[in-house]
Amino acid sequence: MSKDVVVDIQGLTKSFGDRKIFRDVTLQVHQSEVVAIIGPSGVGKSTLIRCVNYLHPFDQGTIRLLGHELRGGERPSAAVLQDIRTHVGMVFQTFNLFHHLSVLDNIVLGPVEVKKVPRKQAVERAHELLEMMGLTDWAKAYPRRLSGGQQQRVAICRALAMDPKVMLFDEPTSMLDPELVGDVLEAIQRLAQQGMTMILVTHEMMFAKEVADTVVIMADNAIAEMGPAKQVLENPQTERARNFLARVLRNTPPADIPQAVVGGDPD
Amino acid sequence: MHVAWLYLGPFLQGTGVTLELTIVSTVVALVAGILGALGMIHGGKILRAVLVVYVELVRGLPPILQLFIIFFGLTQFGVQLDAFSAALIWLMVYGAGYAIEVFRAGIQDVSEGQWEAARSVGMGYFTTLRKIILPQAFALMMPELTNFTVLQLKNTTFVFFIGVADIMYQAQQGAASTEQPQVMFVMAALFYLVLNGGISRVAALVERRLTAYR
Amino acid sequence: MSLFSIWGQYFPSYLQGLGVTIELTVLSLALALVIGFVLALMRLSKVRGLVIVATVYTDVLRAIPVLVMLFIAYYSLGAIGIKLSGVEAAVLTLGAFYGALYGEVFRGGISGVDPGQREAAAALGLPPSSVMRKVVLPQAFLAILPPATNRFADIIKDTSLVVTISVADLMLQSYQAISATYRPMDMLGLAAIMYFVVYLLVSRVLARWELNVQRRRS
């Protein structure tokens, strides 16, 4: 594998009982590349990126990252798992901030518990991150006091506090009210500009076109098409990709700023 | 283990007493519980206050103390109850206190919309209650009601202390005369296990019928 | 003799009895919490054997009256050579029984925590024990608190069963006072007042505390 490949997914297949989630997914993510995965609901986009930090096990294929190799049907050792999860940041659709901890403690928990960073240093770093996200005033608040958009930006801070090598975003804006989507997307865009390697499951077509280097369209439980963002979105080569895009773009209001696509993905 | 066989007769007699106490007190407590719950939900201020105090007293005082008050305490005012009556009255009073809370929660779990819908077709209060609210509430409450009946059965054990000849009493007599408590009390435990298993089985059947509409 | 002078005369022995009642309550509660926590972990584990053992334990203990268990612990065990004092038998019985109830309470609280919270903690690289300690348990705590305090109040009441095996708790003190004074209602009344005050203190103080914890977190 070439030197700057950060995540190398080969022939990944996963089923739930009889139900195939996806099959034979092969995908390489390079240093500082932004990969956006799009596609209709229920094709396993979220499950795919959850396999990368092994929140979900998979049946066949391999994922190589951070010098480790995860193999289908084989549970990695606790040490490997922890190393991967420590260096792969994840942002969830439902934010999943820890309700019982203040905003600050949400961000500090990982570095202190896992990386054994002195608390004082972790707190300083947390304040820096909050400032970057424009959330300075909320450090002491409990998560449920915050709007969805603010919670999601705290969740991004929480992931960044671990100094991840790769960031995974699982539909980060699909639970947000339309007017709150912009702030979160802006934060993600800034990360992209700073050179963060990212895999992003999203419904925001415009955003994908603008920010992603590579777009992957998943349909019928497999990759339908993959390539440079503009090319795939403007001039798709496969029938399935064309069908999907035609259906989605009909529903997307024309806009130059990123906007929420009508309807969220329940999976 | 012939000692166990020897005492099977008395144990079965005791079972009769235990079941009589359980069934009669449970039925009375449930009816009182429904009325009390309605008083709590729809009654006036004074009625509600009285009911709250009643429930708190029943729940706040040790069961055996309540039984003693009814059996021994009342004698100070010239009320001499025989042991069985005292036991039955206590089980009713005690059960009702718990049943009120069970029904209050159950009735309030049925949505307000059901009352409104019934009223809108011209049903009166008690008709609505009987035809609409209680059937749904019962279905919702089956797990709690099963629990309640099991609790009533377990509470009957306290009455041996004032000399009512229930299972517990027979076990104690047996233990004293055979000097084999390891047999008698384990046997009592098995009897209660079987009886409670029976209650759960019957409750499961009733629940299946009540929730058929879902 | 007036009501109050007779109460005054017996008050010291009642207080002594109350001390025994509180001692029984605290010891039983401690044992029950430990047993309950272990049972909850067993039932939530993926090891089939542990799940079965914990489930059978819970179902059996909930179906047998506490009084029967107390007699088994005190008389039956004694007859086969395991002699326990009244206090030991009572603590063992109440701890075992309320352990089964607390096991259910804890299990409900823990499994009620949103799975997304575990996922997020795992995704940060927290090892399973830290996920439990730092994220799941603190959140389960809120859901566990109200039913747990209810059970606590029930333990206080159930300690009165030791009157049947002659442990000198508040209940036995009042029972003995009856035969000494022939004024059953007066003597039971004083015990009732004392039990009720403890019950109110426990349920109100704990309720206040619950409210504070909840407020702080929302």
Q: Read off the CATH number of the domain in which C55 is found.
A: 1.10.3720.10
Which residue, C68, C71, C64, is CA-closest to C86? C71
Nearest CA in chain C to B198: C63
| Cα–Cα distance measured from residue A150 to residue A158, given in angstroms and rounded to the nearest whole number | 12
Tokens of C188: 């039971």
Contacts of C122 in chain A (CB under 8 A): 55, 85
Give me the domain span that covers residue C187.
3-217
Model confidence at A258: pLDDT above 70: no
Measure the N-to-C terminal CA separation of chain B; round to a whole number of Å. 50
- The residues near B85 (Cβ < 8 Å, ≥ 6 apart) are none
Is A261 among the domain residues? no
- Hey, of C25, C69, C76, which one would you mutate to test binding to chain B, going by the most B CBs within 10 A of its CB? C76
- Chain-wide mean pLDDT for chain C? 91
pLDDT in tens, chain C (218 residues): 788 888 989 999 999 999 999 999 999 999 999 999 999 999 998 899 999 999 999 999 999 999 999 999 999 998 888 899 999 999 999 999 999 999 999 999 999 999 999 999 999 999 989 999 999 999 998 889 888 888 998 999 999 999 999 898 999 999 999 988 889 999 999 999 999 999 988 888 888 888 887 777 66
Domain coordinates of chain B in residue numbers? 17-163
Question: What total number of domains does chain A contain?
Answer: 1
At residue A88, does pLDDT exceed 70?
yes
Q: How far is C7 from chain A (nearest CA, A)?
A: 49
More reliable by pLDDT, B46 or C211 = B46
Percent of chain C with pLDDT over 70: 99
How many domains is chain C built from? 1
Range of the domain at A110: 5-251
A86 contacts C125? CB cut-off 8 A: yes
* A134 found inside a domain: yes
Residue A40 and residue A263 in contact, taking contact as beta carbons nearer than 8 Å = no
Beta-carbon contacts of C14 under 8 Å, excluding residues fewer than 6 positions away, are: C170, C173, C174, C177, C190, C191, C194
* Residue in B60, B73, B168 nearest the CB of C188: B73
User: What CATH fold (topology level) applies to the domain B17-163?
Assistant: MetI-like fold (1.10.3720)
The pLDDT score that the predictor gives to residue B123 is: 85
Name the DSSP letter for residue A77.
P
Q: What angle in degrees, to the nearest 10, is found between the helix axes of C86-111 and C137-158?
A: 150
Does a structural domain hold residue A264?
no
Q: What CATH number is attached to the domain comprising A86?
A: 3.40.50.300
* Average pLDDT of chain A to the nearest whole number: 88
Q: Which has the higher per-residue pLDDT, B119 or B96?
A: B96
Count other Cβ atoms within 10 Å, centred on residue C17.
25
**Banded pLDDT at A247 (limits 50, 70, 90):** confident
Kindly list the partner chains of chain C, i.e. chains with 3 or more CB atom pairs below 8 Å: A, B
Reported confidence tier of residue A3, pLDDT bands at 50, 70, 90: low
The pLDDT confidence band at residue A251, using thresholds 50, 70 and 90, is low
Q: Is residue A127 part of a domain?
A: yes
CA distances from A126 to A101, A102, A191, A238, C90 (A): 14, 12, 16, 45, 52
Higher-pLDDT residue of B7 and A251 is: B7
Q: Which residue of C has its CA nearest to A78?
A: C127
pLDDT for A263 beyond 60 = no
* pTM value > 0.90: no
Cβ contact (<8 Å) for C117 and A98?
A: yes
Q: Judge: A97–C134 Cβ closer than 8 Å, yes or no.
A: no
Task: Enumerate neighbours of B (3 or more CB pairs within 8 A).
Answer: C
